[in-house]
Amino acid sequence: MEFCPNCNCILLEDRKRKVLVCRKCKFEKSIGLEGSQRFVEIIDKKGETVIIKESDPSKERRLPITRAECKKCGNMEAYYWMMQTRSADEPSTRFYRCTKCNATWREYE
């Protein structure tokens, strides 16, 4: 998420023109490679497994690593990140991705 340097409002994406725009003062900034993280969520046919893919795979290597067991391959290390997927008064959802097989899962508080 980026903010306008002039009025501190949130910059919104204009996908057609590939720029970030401030609604208040009309400031514009081109969207470069340093743009915000973008995630795609895919739910399997059973509605159980969630796979999170980042549009720029090179950023995945910058995610922190923690000790977590992968149920798919038994590896004990995984990348992790947190996102607010429910209402603001609920805790964040923790996502994990195995460093070995790239299996992805999530945990709730």
Distances (CA, A) of 70 to 28, 55, 58, 93, 101: 43, 23, 21, 17, 9
Is 2 a known active-site residue? no
69 phi/psi in degrees, rounded to 5: -85, 125
Distances (CA, A) of 49 to 10, 45, 60: 33, 9, 20
State the catalytic residue, choosing from 60, 90, 107, 109: 90
In terms of DSSP H, where are the helices of the chain?
Answer: none
Is 54 a known active-site residue? no
State the catalytic residue, choosing from 44, 48, 89, 109: 89
Could you list the active site residues? Answer: 89-90
